[in-house]
Structure 1
Amino acid sequence: MVAFALALLMGTAVYFRIWARQSTDPSFTVDDREELRRQFERANLEAMDESAEWRMKYDTEFAKNKQLQDDLLKAKASLSTSTKRFDLLKKDNEVLKRQIEIMKRQCNCTVPVLTQE
């Protein structure tokens, strides 16, 4: 944007300089004035084309960045949900381990160990 503004400012300065020279210098002919005007218009069109090209590149990169930000937010949300679920499962596991220990203490019977053959 700064480069575009600078190009517009320089174009305006060139235009005013041409205008000032035309009004003070009688050696400029109508053909010279037309040629300078055509050169100025050509340079102005090239600057606008370049500006449009850079704007298109900016818009493309902005869209890519927006998509990546959305994907990142989805991944963070998924990770947060998974972390919460994992914490709940760990708590449930601890509760179940305590219940097993309590049941083992309450049971005075001996249970034979089953072996797999």
Structure 2
Amino acid sequence: MGAKRRSILATLAFLMLMGIAVYFRLWAIHYNLSADDTRIIRQQFDTANREAMDESAEWRLRYDEEVDRTKKCLQELQVFQMSSQKEQDASHINHKLAILQKENAVLFERLETLKRELEEERLRCTSRYMK
């Protein structure tokens, strides 16, 4: 029994050594793959980062172009509003002028009426003194 026991222990020790060797071999393969994976992941990260930076720059360019276009539109709108305001002022002035001309005509007629009345009163006064 002693020889059989030694044989079993030797076989068990050999199998344990072989298991440990296989484990270390698998660990080394995994480590190499992990190192390669790390390099690949780093490259993918760098690529994604560059793409994100390019996209960010593209969106910034679009934003800047839109801001410029908006500024130009606002300037054109202000110019249009100023010219429109001038036209409104001119039309408002023309309207006021027409109203003032009408009022002037009414006042002129009133003045003529008052002059006639004054002349009539003078004639009455002079005709009284002559009688």
Give the alignment's TM-score, normalised by structure 2.
0.53
Unaligned runs of 5+ in 2: 1-26, 117-131
CA offset digits 1:51-71 (Å, max 9, x no partner): 111111111111111111111
How many matched pairs? 84
The structure whose residues are more often helix, as a share, is 2
2:90 alignment partner in structure 1:
85
Point out the structure with max Rg over C-alpha: 2
CA positional deviation for 1:96: 1.7
The 1:82–1:103 alpha-carbon spacing in structure 2 relative to 1, beyond 3 Å, is same
Secondary structure of the corresponding residue to residue 83 of structure 1: helix
Residue 43 (structure 1) aligned with residue 11 (structure 2): no
Higher relative contact order (CA 8 A, sep 6+): 1
CA offset digits 1:1-50 (Å, max 9, x no partner): xxxxxxxxxxxxxxxxxxxxxxxx98343333222111110111111111
Give the alignment's TM-score, normalised by structure 1.
0.59
Aligned pairs for 1:13-32 (under 5 A) are: 27-29=30-32, 30-32=35-37
The 1:46–1:28 alpha-carbon spacing in structure 2 relative to 1, beyond 3 Å, is farther
